[in-house]
Amino acid sequence: MWVSQEDLKKLGARIRNLRIKQGLTIEKLAWENDMSKGNLSEIEKGIRNVRYLTLKKLAEALNVSIKKLVID
């Protein structure tokens, strides 16, 4: 399945907004998900594609479903 750059940007914005709403720093969320701050930053900017396992970990850390992250 092909994912557009626009879809990646929307996903990244959702992740960033949820992170900020929950008072998490990018460093803390990255650390909790065993990823670098740079990788998470690229995901939030829509630059990096996200693997399913990473998406699942982020959803769990943000206390939301994967569906909430990927669907408008």
Contacts (Cβ under 8 Å, ≥6 apart) of 14: 68, 69
- Taking 70 as the threshold, does the pLDDT of residue 1 lie above it? no
pLDDT digits (tens, 9 = 90+) for 13-71: 999 999 999 999 999 999 999 999 999 999 999 999 999 999 999 999 999 999 999 88
* Residue 43, token pair as written in the block: 């995901």
Please give the full DSSP string across 24-57, using - where no structure is assigned.
Answer: --HHHHHHHTT--HHHHHHHHHT-S---HHHHHH
Q: Which domains does the chain have, with CATH numbers?
A: 5-70 (1.10.260.40)
